[in-house]
Amino acid sequence: MPEDVVDDLFEKAGYLASKDEIEVYKSLNTVESKRRYLFDFWRKKEKGRPGFRQEYYARVNYCDQQFAASGVPGWKTDRGRVYILYGPPDNIERHPVEQGTNPYEVWFYEKLQGGSEFDFIDFTGFGHYQLVNSTVRGEIQDPNWKTLLVKN
């Protein structure tokens, strides 16, 4: 596997990598050491979850098809990151352009932390949705996020 492919695979796995793991990977200077590190990285992540790596990269590919916007690969978008980490939402409320407001989506996850949501707004009007609020611990939280819906 060529070095650029290995680098791309590790970059896409970055949502699961710790800062230390990323630093170690960046310090590697041969393609073989990078391959070995990527193999060991996934071996640890898959422990007790066979097929997790394939599922993860399938989510990355899905996001590239569904959420790419303004030249940004789908997996690098906020919706892509959420989809990759938490899987497909149980329900999505889509609110297209309405007079005076930005388009937005609300994603619901029934089993995540007892029921969670992610709120995304498209400030550009070109499908580049930004995460502005979530009820999930560790994610951005803004209880007044709906005030951001009004177009300036």
Looking at the predicted structure, is the pLDDT value of residue 96 above 80?
Answer: yes
Looking at the predicted structure, is the pLDDT value of residue 16 above 90?
Answer: yes
The three-state secondary structure class of 18 is coil
Looking at the predicted structure, is the pLDDT value of residue 98 above 90?
Answer: no
Pick the range with the lowest mean pLDDT from 15-24, 80-89, 98-107: 98-107
Distance CA 135, CA 116 (A): 5
Closest listed residue to residue 75, CA positions, set 15, 138, 116? 15
- Rounded to 5 degrees, what angle do the CA atoms 118, 122, 123 make? 125
The pLDDT tens digits of the residues spanning 107-128 come to 999 999 999 999 999 999 899 9
* Number of residues assigned to the chain: 152
Looking at the predicted structure, is the pLDDT value of residue 152 above 80?
Answer: no
> At residue 132, what is the residue type?
V
Where do the domains of the chain lie?
A: 3-50, 70-149
Helix spans in 13-143 (H): 19-27, 31-46, 52-66, 78-86
- In this prediction, residue 132 carries a pLDDT of 98
Structure token pair of residue 97: 């352009």
Name the pTM for this structure: 0.93
Q: Determine how β-strand 116-122 pairs with β-strand 104-109.
A: antiparallel
The gap from C-alpha 58 to its chain's centroid, in whole angstroms, comes to 12
Q: How confident is the model at residue 151 (pLDDT cuts 50, 70, 90)?
A: confident
> If you average pLDDT over every residue of the chain, what do you get?
96
